Amino acid sequence: MSTTTSQNPAAERTTPERKEPTYLFTEKYVADKSELARKFLDTRERLNANVDNANNFLVKRFYNIDHNTYLEGALSAKTKELMGLVASACLRCDDCIFYHAIQAYRLGVPRAEQEEALNVALVVGGSIVVPHLRRVYELLEEMYE
């Protein structure tokens, strides 16, 4: 009896190359385009400086895992940012929602795709997601106008 598959399926899997995504827009461009994005990015930078100054090993490890999760790989960075957007909306974290919406914009994700991803969040998360949709739609309006 012959088989066409290997006895070791793990050996047949290839790990896709992981690389930094190519952004179409800088954070400065987004901040200049959207007042909401500017306020968010400025606050995030200021608060991250406080965390960085603590020089906490575990926080640095977590940040590294987070960074590496969103690299290009088997899934595109765009897809991962939309997944992050959906999860953040379901978890009702406005900071995370803004972050992923901005990153998706920077990667060139069209507004219609962000809105469709937010529809998934609404169905999964329920009506409690609506207040967060209101805020992110305001951000999208500024970024995509």
Residues recorded for the chain: 145
Q: Which residues of the chain have pLDDT under 70?
A: 1-6, 8-12
Greatest extent of the chain over all pairs of C-alpha atoms, in Å: 67
Q: What is the average pLDDT value for the chain, to the nearest integer?
A: 94
What are the respective helix, strand and coil percentages of the chain, to the nearest 5? 70, 0, 25
pLDDT at 9 (0 to 100): 65
C-alpha–C-alpha distance, residues 49 and 91, integer Å: 25
| CA separation, residue 9 to residues 3, 4, 6, 14, 32 (Å) | 12, 11, 6, 10, 50
pTM of the model: 0.89
